[in-house]
Structure 1
Amino acid sequence: MSSDNQNYDSWQSAQRVCVIGAGTMGAGIAAHLANIGFQVSLLDVTREAASEGLARAKAAKPPHFYVPERAADVEVGSLKDSYDLIARADWVCEAIVEKIDIKKALFAEIEPHLRPDAMISTNTSGLQISLLAQGRSDSFRRRFMGTHFFNPPRYLKLLELIPTEETDPNGVTAMSKFLEDRVARRVVVAKDTPGFIANRYGMWAMYQAIHAAERLHLTIEQVDAITGEFLGRPRSGSFRLNDIVGLDIMEDIAKNLVQRCPHDSHMGVFETPKSMKVLIEKGWIGEKARQGYYRKEGRELLALNLDTQVYNQRQEPDLPSLKELGKTPLGERIKLALDKKDEVGEFLRNYLVPVLKYADFLKKEVSHSVEDFDRVMKWGFGWKMGPFELIDAIGPDRLGLSTGSNYSEAGIRDFDGIYRQREAHPEYLQLADCPVIDGTDTYSLRDLGDGILAVALKTKMGVITPQVVSDLTEFAKERKAQPFVLTSEAKSFSAGYDLSFFDQAIDKGDYESIDRALSDLQSLGELLEEAECVAAVFGHCLGAGLEIALSCAKILAHAETNIGLPESRVGLIPGGRGTTLLRLHNQFTAKRLAEVAFTMAEGAISTSADQARSLGYLRQTDVTVYHPDRLLSAAKRMALTVGQSRRPNWHTPEGPIAGMIDRELDSGKRQGVLSDHDKTIGDKIKVIFAKAVSYEDAVRMERVEFVDLCKKALSHARIKHMLETNRPLRN
C-alpha cells in the first residue's frame, strides 16, 4: 500500500515519544530514548505499574540510564488517563505483552487519538506484524511497522525494522533514517516472517549448540570455550548466553516458531534438549533464577554436568587446538579447526556446519540480502563474522553448498545469483578502511579524507609509554598546522600510562626519570593545545590517555566509554596535567572543586561519557556520540572546523576550597569509601586545587606531589599489586 500525498519529512525532527508498556523492554526503550534527548512518556495499565517499570529501569544492573537524572525526563501515566500524551506524540511505540489479541485491542483503543502524521510501531520479537494491523484504518496501516529492539536497548545496537505489505515504502525509508540518525540504532529491514531474522535463526543456532554438546558428551565449559572468542563470538559462549536469555524464554520462542513454521523441515532442532527440560522443570531457568547451566555459590562458579545433571566446580577446559589456532585470523582459524580430529573439530562439524547450512536454507525467506542476514548476527549477537562471511571463509563447496561466494570484489551476491555493488556509507567511517600513510612503532597515521588525518595509537589498550609521548611530540611539532583526529587502533582509546615504567624507576630510586617523563607528558599536552585536533575516544579513556585527550580542542566520546583519572587506585595523582586541567575546567564554585577532588581521591571511573561529564572529567563543550558506529565520522567533521584548544584562565572561586575538600575527604573516610592512604592522596590534590596561584604553578606542583607519592611504600605496593593482579589495592 502506498500513498502519494503522505509526507514523512516531519519524522526526522520528532521529539515526543510515547512508549506503551512498562515491562522490561518498554522501560528499557524509554530509558534509551530519554538518554539521547527525547521527551518520553511511559504508559501502562495504571500509573503505579508505569512507575514501577521506571523504578526497575533506574535500578537495573548494568544501568539503563547514562546518569540517574535522565529518569526524571520520563513522564509516567496510566493509559486511560493519558490519551493526551498519545495525541501529542510524534512516535507511539507499543511494547506490551506478546499476545496478538491484547496488542490488537490496544491499537483499536489508541488509534482515534493518534496524530495523522505520527509514527506507530510495535516492539515484538516475532509476532506477525500484518496480523496486528488487521482492522485498522488505511492511514494506520501505511505507517505501521515492527521495531524489534534488542535487550537491553541501551547496549545492543541492532534494531530489526519489519514493515508489512501494506506499509508505505516511503514510510519505511523515512523510519529507517529516523532510527539510524535520531535513535542511534543500526537498522536491518527484515521480512514479516516468524521470528524475523534474529529469533528464527539465532535461536535455532542456540538450540543446535545444546543438542551437539549433549550428543557428543562435551562439558558446557568446553562448548563455551569453543563458541566464545575462539569462534569470534562474545566471551559468554553458548551456555552462558542461554542463562542470560532465560531458558523459559528460549522454550517459548521455540514453541512459537514450531507452531508457525510447519513448512520448515529443520524445526526438529527446537525439540527441548534433555538438560534444558530438567532445568526448566526445577525452575532453574538462568540468571533471573540465579542458576541455570551455571550457578554461583559465593565466589565459586559451578557448571552443570550435562550427563549427570549435577553441578560441579567449573573446570578450565583443556583444548590444545584453541591455543594452537587462537592467534590465526578468524576465518582461517575456523577452517583449520574443522579438520581437527579432537573435541573442537568434532563439535564444529556437528554444530557450526549445520548452522551455516541452515542460514543458506533460510536466507531468502527471512531477509532481503545475505548482508542483512550477516548484520543481524553481528550487530545483535556480537558475532565478528556473519554466517555468509563464514561460509565464504570456509568455502561453500566444503560445506556442500553450490551457491558460490556471497561476497566478492564485484559486490554482494543477491538471491538471483547476481553480484550487486555495495552502497557507500561515509557516515560509518571505520579506521581500518582508511589508508595508512605514515607512522611509527607506537602510532599509525591514516588519511581520513578531506585533508583530515587520524593519529591512532598502536600500543596494547592504547597504553601511553615514554616512547608514545616522544613520537606524538615529534608529530605535533611537525604537523600541528594540519587538522587531525587523535584515536586508537586498539579495543580502547587508552588504559593510561604504562605502570611498569614507574615500578621499575621506583625500584631503582630513579625519581628524576619519573619527573622527566611527567614533564614530557605535560609538554606534549601543551603542544596539542596549539594544534587543530580532536580526540575520538571509546572503550576506556583513563589516566594519561584522558590527560592527552583533554589537551585536544574537543573530545568526542562514544556514549559507553569508561572515562576517569583513577591514579589514586595505584597510589598516585594525575601528573600529566590531569589534576591541573580538572581544576581549570571545574572552577565554577568551591563546592564543585571539592566534589571533583573527592572523585579523584576515590579514583572513580564513569560508566558512560555523560556520567564522565557530570563527574567533571569531560568539559561541557566535549561531545557524546550516541550512535555506536559514527564516532570517527563525527570526529572527522569536527576536526574540519574545530580550531585550537582554548585553555581557561586560572580563577579561584569564592569560598574555603581547602576546608570544603577536607570535609569531603573526611566524610569519605568515615563512610569507609576512602582509606588513610586515599586521604593522603586527596590531600595532595587539595594542595594543587587550593594553593596553586596559576596554571604554571599547578603543573609544577603536580610533578612534585606525584614524585613524593612514588617515594611512599603504600603507593608502590598499590602499583605492584595492580601489575600483578590487574586489581586495585585499597591499603
Structure 2
Amino acid sequence: MCVIGAGTMGSGIAAHLANIGFNVTLLEQTREHAEKAFARAKDVRPPHFYVKSTADKIRLGGVDQDLDWIREADWVCEAIIEKLDAKKALFEKIEHLLKEEAFISTNTSGLQIGLLSEGRSESFRRRFLGTHFFNPPRYLKLLELIPTEETDPTVVQQMTEFLEKDVARRVVLAKDTPGFIANRYGMWSMIYTVHVAEKLGLSVEQVDAITGPFLGRPKSASFRLNDIVGLDIMVDIAQNLIERCPHDPQTPHLATPNSIASLIEKGWIGSKAGQGYYKKEGNQFVSYDMVTGAYRERLEPSLPSLDSLARKPLGERLREGLQLRDEVGEFLRAYLIPTLQYAVALKEEISHNVRDFDRVMQWGFGWEAGPFEMIDAIGAEHLGIEAKPFYSDGQIQDFDGNYYAPAPEPLFAKITDFPVLEEGTGWKTRDLGDGVTAFTLCNKMGVVDPGVVEGLQSVLDSGKVERLLITSEAKVYSAGFDLKFFVNAIENQDFDAVDKAIAAFHRLNDSIGKIPSVAAVWGFCLGGGFEIASGCTSIVAAAESMIGLPESRVGLLPGGLGTLVMHENSGGDVKRGINALKSMATGAMSMNADHAYELGYLTDDDVICYHPDQLITFAKQHLLSLEAKPKPEWKPFTGPFGGMVDQMQDALKASGELTDYDELISDKAKRIFTKANSREEAMELERTLFVELCHEGRSLARMKHMLETGKPLRN
C-alpha cells in the first residue's frame, strides 16, 4: 500500500493500514518532509497506533527520489493538499509507475472526483475513485466510496469488498456531488446548530446538553465536536460548499457564524490550538460565552425537561420535546425540524438511497439514528414532512416511493440476528448454525454473577453443544464479576458462599475448553469476563478491546483461574512471568488488543478482529477451524524468580504505583506462581487466597469504594 501525503489524513490512513498488518509506504515531497510530518503523527492524541512499534514498520520516502516505490503498490491513495492542480499534477507524474491492476484513489473531501482524472489514460480512469476516510481512521469506520462515470463497475465492487473485508471499513457508495453525503449534510448540520444557538441566545452548555445523547448523538454533542473537528476546517469545508452549491436554497446557512469568526480571529480554532468553544484551565474546563466573547466558568445548564424525557425511546422523547415550551422545545423546533426537512430535500441529489444517507450519519458522526430513521421514529406529520415511512417491515422506501428488501449482509451479522435457544437470568443461548451455539452475557455491562456461571455450566453439562462461542449482548463484552455479590457475602460473614462461588467458577472455567470454544470480546473484557474468555480454546478480540485483570484495584486476586491463566500465558518464560505478575499487581488494563499481548493477557492462540462489525462472523469462522486442546503442563517458577519479583514490586512501590496492600496481594499471586506443584494445587491455592482476602477489611473498603465512586481506593 502506498499513501502519498503525510499530513493529518495521510498519516492517519497509513497508520491504520499498518495497524492491521499491511506493508505501507508513506511519501511526502521529500524524505525530510515525510520524517518531520510523521514524527508529529506518532505523538498525536488520540493515538494513531495500537502500539508505538507499529510506526517503525512504515517506510517513509520522498516523491523527489523514491517515486519508484509506487511500482510495488497494489493500492495508491493520494492525500495531499486540497488543490485540484496539485493533485492532477501528481497523478500525471505517477501514472506510468502504477501496476497494471493497482487501485488508485483520492482522499479528497471537497473536490469533484471526475475532474481529478481528466487527462489520464483510460486504464487510469477506469481504476480511479474517491476514498473519503473519516478522521481519525483508526476510530471512525465509515468510508465514502465515490466512483466517477468512467470508473469500471467491477473495480467499484472489488474495492468495496476489499475495503470492507480487509481494511476494516463500512463503505457507503456516494455520488460525485459537492461534499458527498457527510460534508454536504453533516457540516451543514454542524454550522446550522451554531446559527440557531446564536439566534436563540443559548449557551454552549445548553446546546450541548440538548444535542448529545438526548438527541441520539455522542457526548461530544455540538460545540465540543466543533472543537475536535477544528473551526478553521469547518469554515474551509463550508466555503467550498458555498462556492459549489449556489443552486441550494440552504447554502446561505453555511455562512460563518459570528462566534466562529470571532474565535478564528483570535486563533482559538479548537482542540489543536488548546482552546475553542471550550478551554481547559488546570483540571477544569471553561466555556466560551458567545455574547461577551470571553471565557467564563462552565455552567451546568438547568433543563429539567431533559431529565424527564431522557429514559424514553428516541422518537418518543423528541416528539414530546418538540411540544415543550422551554429552551429545549424552542431549540428542537428551530434546529431539528429544518435539519430533517433538509435531508428529505437532499436525498436524491447526494445519495443512492435513504439507508446510505442514514449510515453516513451513524457511522461517520455517531448518530444513534440517521435522519430518515429519526423521521420515522418521531412521525413525519410532526415535522411538516409529507412522506410515507422510509422503513417498513424490513424494507426500504426507494426514491420512486416503492419498497425493496435490502441485500443481506452476512459479513456484518449481529449476535441478536440469530434465534434464541434457551434463556436464563443474565444469559441466553443462540443457534449460529453449522453446529455452533452461542452463549451470550445479557446482564448490564456483561456482568458475570453466580447465575451466569450456573447457566453456562448447565449448557456445557447438557452435552448438546458441539462448538461454543461466548459473547455478550450488552454494550461491552464484560466488566467482570459482580462485586455486589462479594460485598453482600462479606458483610453477612458468609464466606462459605464466597468459597462455593469461586469453586463453581473454577469448575466452569476449567471445563469450557473441553470442547472447541471461542470468546468474541470487545469493549471491556475484564476480571471474571476475561477469565471465562480465557477458558476458551481461543479469544477473538475486537481491536479496541480493553482487556485486563483489575482485581487488585478492589483488593482481590483473580478468582476464576485468572492467576493460572497468566502463569500459563507466560509459557515458563521468566521475563513474561514477571510481566504477568506486574500486570496483575497494578491491575493493568490494555488500551487495545495489541497492547493486551504486551501485558500478557493474549497469546499466539488468540486473534484480533480489526473490524468490530465483523466480530461475530469472524469469530464463528475461526471457531470452525479449531479443535479442543489440553491444558498445558503446570510447572512452578523456581530459582531466582521470587527475588526478581520482589525487585519488580520494590521498584513499583518506589514509583508510587504500588501500595503496601497492593504488594500483599501481589505476594499471594507470586505464591501461586512459585509454590503450586500442579494445576490442581494452583486452583486450590487461588481459591484459598481469594477467600483470605475477603476477610480483609481493606479489601472490603476497596470494593465498596469502587461500587460507590467507580474509582479505585489506594489504601
TM bin, normalised by shorter chain, reads over 0.9
Helix, strand or coil: the match of 1:81? helix
CA contact 2:638–2:674 (8 Å) conserved in 1: no
AA aligned to 2:265 is E
AA aligned to 2:95 is E
Query: 1:1-400, aligned counterparts within 5 Å?
Result: 17-400=1-384
AA aligned to 2:610 is Y
Following TM superposition, by how much is the alpha carbon of 1:161 offset from its aligned partner in structure 2, in angstroms? Answer: 0.7
CA deviation string 1:250-296 (max 9, x = no partner) = 11111111011111110111111121121111111111111111111
Following TM superposition, by how much is the alpha carbon of 1:316 offset from its aligned partner in structure 2, in angstroms? Answer: 2.4
Following TM superposition, by how much is the alpha carbon of 1:653 offset from its aligned partner in structure 2, in angstroms? Answer: 6.3
Query: 1:590-601, aligned counterparts within 5 Å?
Result: 590-601=574-585
CA deviation string 1:540-579 (max 9, x = no partner) = 0000000011111221111111000111111222111000
Find the aligned partners of 1:409 and 1:711 in 2 and give their Cα distance: 56
Following TM superposition, by how much is the alpha carbon of 1:27 offset from its aligned partner in structure 2, in angstroms? Answer: 1.0
Find the aligned partners of 2:381 and 2:707 in 1 and give their Cα distance: 49
Following TM superposition, by how much is the alpha carbon of 1:655 offset from its aligned partner in structure 2, in angstroms? Answer: 5.5
Following TM superposition, by how much is the alpha carbon of 1:90 offset from its aligned partner in structure 2, in angstroms? Answer: 0.8
Structure 2 residue 647 is the aligned partner of structure 1 residue 663: yes
CA contact 2:636–2:676 (8 Å) conserved in 1: no
CA deviation string 1:494-515 (max 9, x = no partner) = 1011122222333333333222
Of 540, 561, 564, which residue of structure 2 is paired with 1:556?
Answer: 540
CA contact 1:595–1:664 (8 Å) conserved in 2: no
Following TM superposition, by how much is the alpha carbon of 1:415 offset from its aligned partner in structure 2, in angstroms? Answer: 1.6
CA contact 2:181–2:350 (8 Å) conserved in 1: yes
Find the aligned partners of 1:454 and 1:212 in 2 and give their Cα distance: 48
Structure 2 residue 571 is the aligned partner of structure 1 residue 587: yes
Q: CA RMSD in A?
A: 1.7
CA contact 1:587–1:651 (8 Å) conserved in 2: no
Find the aligned partners of 2:270 and 2:67 in 1 and give their Cα distance: 38
Listed as ranges, the gaps of 5+ residues in structure 2 are: none
Helix, strand or coil: the match of 2:89? helix
Structure 2 residue 591 is the aligned partner of structure 1 residue 607: yes
Question: Aligned in 2, Cα 1:577/1:410: closer, same or farther, shift over 3 Å?
Answer: closer
CA deviation string 1:328-369 (max 9, x = no partner) = 122222222222222222211111111111111111111111
Question: Aligned in 2, Cα 1:672/1:233: closer, same or farther, shift over 3 Å?
Answer: same
CA deviation string 1:114-159 (max 9, x = no partner) = 1121111111112111111122111111111111111111110000
User: 2:515: which partner in 1?
Assistant: 531
Query: 1:450-461, aligned counterparts within 5 Å?
Result: 450-461=434-445
CA contact 1:480–1:530 (8 Å) conserved in 2: no
CA contact 2:477–2:522 (8 Å) conserved in 1: yes
Find the aligned partners of 1:603 and 1:634 in 2 and give their Cα distance: 29
User: 1:8: which partner in 2?
Assistant: none
User: 2:696: which partner in 1?
Assistant: 712
Following TM superposition, by how much is the alpha carbon of 1:480 offset from its aligned partner in structure 2, in angstroms? Answer: 5.2
Find the aligned partners of 1:717 and 1:505 in 2 and give their Cα distance: 14
Structure 2 residue 667 is the aligned partner of structure 1 residue 683: yes
Following TM superposition, by how much is the alpha carbon of 1:641 offset from its aligned partner in structure 2, in angstroms? Answer: 4.3
CA contact 1:585–1:648 (8 Å) conserved in 2: no
Helix, strand or coil: the match of 1:237? coil
Find the aligned partners of 2:423 and 2:173 in 1 and give their Cα distance: 40
CA contact 2:104–2:128 (8 Å) conserved in 1: yes
User: 1:420: which partner in 2?
Assistant: 404
CA contact 1:552–1:645 (8 Å) conserved in 2: no
Helix, strand or coil: the match of 2:222? helix
Task: Give the structure-1-normalised TM-score.
Answer: 0.95
CA contact 2:436–2:465 (8 Å) conserved in 1: no
User: 2:421: which partner in 1?
Assistant: 437
AA aligned to 2:161 is K
Find the aligned partners of 1:464 and 1:62 in 2 and give their Cα distance: 31
Following TM superposition, by how much is the alpha carbon of 1:305 offset from its aligned partner in structure 2, in angstroms? Answer: 2.4
AA aligned to 1:472 is L
Find the aligned partners of 1:163 and 1:641 in 2 and give their Cα distance: 37
Query: What percent identity do the matched residue pairs reach?
Result: 56
Following TM superposition, by how much is the alpha carbon of 1:730 offset from its aligned partner in structure 2, in angstroms? Answer: 2.6
Query: For this pair of structures, how many residues does the alignment match?
Result: 715
Listed as ranges, the gaps of 5+ residues in structure 1 are: 1-16
**Stretches of 4+ aligned residues off by more than 6 angstroms:** none
AA aligned to 2:354 is V
Question: Aligned in 2, Cα 1:480/1:572: closer, same or farther, shift over 3 Å?
Answer: farther
Following TM superposition, by how much is the alpha carbon of 1:410 offset from its aligned partner in structure 2, in angstroms? Answer: 6.8
CA deviation string 1:370-415 (max 9, x = no partner) = 1111110011001111111111222223323233221123721222
Following TM superposition, by how much is the alpha carbon of 1:652 offset from its aligned partner in structure 2, in angstroms? Answer: 4.5
Find the aligned partners of 2:703 and 2:386 in 1 and give their Cα distance: 58
CA contact 1:551–1:645 (8 Å) conserved in 2: no
Task: Give the structure-2-normalised TM-score.
Answer: 0.97
Which moved further from structure 2: 101-110 or 643-652?
643-652
Question: Aligned in 2, Cα 1:557/1:323: closer, same or farther, shift over 3 Å?
Answer: same
Find the aligned partners of 1:533 and 1:521 in 2 and give their Cα distance: 17
Following TM superposition, by how much is the alpha carbon of 1:660 offset from its aligned partner in structure 2, in angstroms? Answer: 2.3
CA deviation string 1:698-727 (max 9, x = no partner) = 111112222223333333332222112101
CA deviation string 1:678-715 (max 9, x = no partner) = 22222222111122111111111112222223333333
Which moved further from structure 2: 71-80 or 188-197?
71-80
Helix, strand or coil: the match of 2:64? coil
CA contact 2:636–2:675 (8 Å) conserved in 1: no
CA contact 2:637–2:673 (8 Å) conserved in 1: no
Find the aligned partners of 1:340 and 1:638 in 2 and give their Cα distance: 52
Of 438, 446, 454, which residue of structure 2 is paired with 1:462?
Answer: 446
AA aligned to 1:49 is H
CA contact 2:174–2:180 (8 Å) conserved in 1: yes
